[in-house]
Structures are given as structure tokens and as C-alpha cells.
Amino acid sequence: MELQKELPDIFETFGEIRRNSFMVAKNQKEKDIPLIGVFCTYFPQELALAMGASTVSLCASSDETIDDAEQDLPRNLCPLIKSSYGFAKTDKCPFFYFSDLVIGETTCDGKKKMYEYLSEFKPVHVMELPNSQSDDGFKLWKNEIIKLKEVLEEKFNTTISEDDIKKAIVIKNNERKSLKEFYELGKLDPVPITGTDIFKVLNGTTFEFNKESIPNNLNTLINKIKEEYELSPKYEKKPRILITGCPLGTATEKVIKAIEENGAYVVAFENCSGAKAVDELVDESNPDIYDALAKKYLSIGCSCMTPNPNRIKLLDKMIDEYKVDAVIDVILTACHTYSVETLSIKRFVNSKKNIPYMSIETDFSISDIGQINTRMAAFIEML
């Protein structure tokens, strides 16, 4: 089919965004456009956008620099934390190198202690994230967002107006809507595209500096996929898998490939790489913009929250809407909050949704690919 030849090129374009954005970051520095490096979806990007700054996800999904990180950090630490620190320490991450400021959040103990060392290489501002989505937690987070706005104004000698924040909220909401429309293609049965391709696009957009261009780019891709699907679906029906758990990066793409090379398709990503970050919009009708931002970002169902009902709520909805046959929970080694939470997720998936569940613990190396493939083949055969 004609589209079958075109699609890989389109997907590769998104995959190349990260490589191309290295040069874009350099060009931005030459034009004195501020660049803010971030690690987590809790960072309210609207504030950076409102002051004309760009936001970029920092390198943190490869084992390339973990040996360097382990010279300073414990070996039995989450690979994402070690990778983050290692890229900063070795200057192998162009995004970190060009960043004027790095924003962190107290999502877990390992990260917040790592930020102390990270500040030796680059200015770092850490937002104090509450442990729960309580009323007191909300007040704390709203104050942290206002404090961040003041930090940005002082750091970059600028003024961030409420009107500019409102405009940025609309831009980010449009981006979220287009991302959601794209990954919801996974609701179709049979699937119109593979989970590998869905992930490639979602991951690629995190390295796109021009947020206003994302909806048009995605709409072009969505329309092309739909047109071809209406003519003739090219993928057969197979078991439908939802991935939850820790955020995925290029190194953990091996899990998606293991699922799809052993007889199933990944149709949904509930984690930070997928729906968790963009499922809810900022309320544009709320006159208190800081209240609106705090409500949206604090609603993210991360395992660092206790209790964490919003993760269950989103999982419940997605399992039904995507007609999921099984759930796979991807846990990064030594990620204690997600690891402990596997019990409650298993109970919910098995008892409440009556479908199979499996957790996979992995890191950023390739040493466990054989083991993952073996487990996945047995699990999918059972389905």
C-alpha cells in the first residue's frame, strides 16, 4: 500500500525531532531565547511558554552514562535517576548543556537528593511537590507554582503576565488535545498502527520546541492514518495490551517490542509517556490561573501520591475504552513507589476488571531482553 511506504518516513521525522532539536537548542541560545530543562510531567510548562522560553525533556533514558553516575551515586538506585545525573555530569546531553535552568520536583527521595548534586553543574530550582492530593497539598502546590513564576521572573529578568499565561494555557491545551486524538487511534480494532509507532510519536513530541506546530503536524498524521484504515486495515486482530507504570524512554522501548514481536499489540499507554500527562486539560474558564494550573498538574496519578486514586480512575476508564485484554506494569529497578504500588494495581486489574496482569521490572540495559521476550511470549500465549 502507498501509505505503508509513507508512514515510516513520517514516524522517523518525529523520531528525528530529538536529534534535530540539538541544533535548534544551539540556535536558540545564539538568539538568547531561554531554555528550561525538565525531567517530569509535573512541571507547569505554561509558565515557561508565557515568558517566551522553551522547555525540553532532559536526557534520562539510556545506560550510556550510568557508569559515570555510579562513581557518585549508589548502584542500587533507579536507572532514570542515574542516567539523568550521568548525562549532566559528563556533558553528553546537549539539552542539559544548553539549558539556562533545570526544574526538578520532589517526586521521590532519590530524585530530590540527586538534585543537590546536579546543582553543582547547573542552576536548579526544585518544586516541593506534596505527598497527597489533599486540600493542604493543593495549597502547597499552588504556592509552589506562584513561587516558580517569581523564580523565573528573577532569573531571566522578565515579567510573566496573567494574560500571557492564559495564552500559554490555550496553546498547551491544544497540544494535549491533539496528542490525545493521536494516541486514541489505539481504540480502533484492529489497530491502525502499532504501539511502537504510537510511542515513537509521543516521545518525539517531547523534543519539539514549537508547541504551536504540534497540533497541525499530528492532525496531518492522524488524517493519513485514518484514510488508509478506512480503505483497508493492514494489521490483523491480536490481544490488546495496556502499559502502565514508570515512564518509558528509548531504552525501555524494548518492552513494547517484546509485546508486539510475541503476538500482541500495545494499544494504550497510561503512564507518563502517554495519557497520564495529557488526559486532563487546564480549565481555561477558571479566572484564577494559578488555581487552574495547580488543579490540572496535581491531578496527575503518579505513584508518589498517597493515596493514588487518580491512577486507578484513569486505568479503569482506559481499560474499558480501549477494550484491553491485559495490563502490563513496567517498573524501573529500584523505583520503590511504583514497585510497591504493583500490588494495588494487580488487585484492581484482576479483581475489578477481570483481566490478566503482569509486572515487568527492568532497567536501561539490553541484558534482560531475552528474559523479557520469554516471559512475554508465555503471557501472550495464555491470552
Banded model confidence at residue 13, pLDDT cuts 50, 70, 90: low
Higher pLDDT, 77 or 5: 77
> Does the pLDDT value for residue 282 go beyond 90?
yes
- In angstroms, what CA-CA distances link 196 with 65, 216, 248, 311, 333? 25, 22, 12, 23, 22
- In angstroms, what CA-CA distances link 138 with 40, 44, 135? 18, 14, 5
| Residue with cell string 535552568 | 101
170: amino acid identity, one letter: V
Higher pLDDT, 116 or 25: 116
Q: What b-and-e string marks burial along 102-130, b requiring 16 or more CB atoms within 10 Å of the CB? A: bbbbbbbebbbebbeebeeeeebbbbebb
What is the reported pLDDT for 259? 98
Span 202-249, pLDDT tens digits: 988 888 888 999 999 999 999 999 999 999 888 999 999 999 999 998
Span 27-51, pLDDT tens digits: 888 889 999 999 999 999 999 999 9
Query: Which residues are CB-contacts of 2 (< 8 A; sequence separation ≥ 6)?
Result: none
Span 91-137, pLDDT tens digits: 888 888 899 999 999 999 999 999 999 999 999 999 999 999 999 99
HEC readout, the chain: CHHHHHHHHHHHHHHHHHHHHHHHHHHHHHCCCCEEEECCCCCCHHHHHHCCCEEEECCCCCCCCHHHHCCCCCCCCCHHHHHHHHHHHHCCCHHHHHCCEEEEECCCHHHHHHHHHHCCCCCEEEECCCCCCCHHHHHHHHHHHHHHHHHHHHHHCCCCCHHHHHHHHHHHHHHHHHHHHHHHHHHCCCCCCCHHHHHHHHHHHCCCCCHHHHHHHHHHHHHHHHHHHHHCCCCCCCCEEEEEECCCCCCCHHHHHHHHHCCCEEEEECCCCCHHHHCCCCCCCCCCHHHHHHHHHHCCCCCCCCCCHHHHHHHHHHHHHCCCCEEEEEEECCCHHHHHHHHHHHHHHHHHCCCCEEEEEECCCCCCHHHHHHHHHHHHHHC
Fold of 16-162: Rossmann fold (3.40.50)
The DSSP bridge partners found for residue 254 are none
Taking the C-alpha atoms of residue 178 and residue 189, their distance in angstroms, rounded to an integer, is 20
Q: Spell out the domain ranges in the chain.
A: 16-162
All 3 cell numbers of residue 135?
486540600
Average pLDDT value over all residues in the chain: 93
Please state the pTM of the whole predicted model: 0.93
| Residue with cell string 515513537 | 200
Residues 255-263 have a mean pLDDT of 97
What is the reported pLDDT for 338? 98
What is the reported pLDDT for 92? 84
Q: How far is CA 109 from the centre of its chain?
A: 20
Banded model confidence at residue 5, pLDDT cuts 50, 70, 90: very low
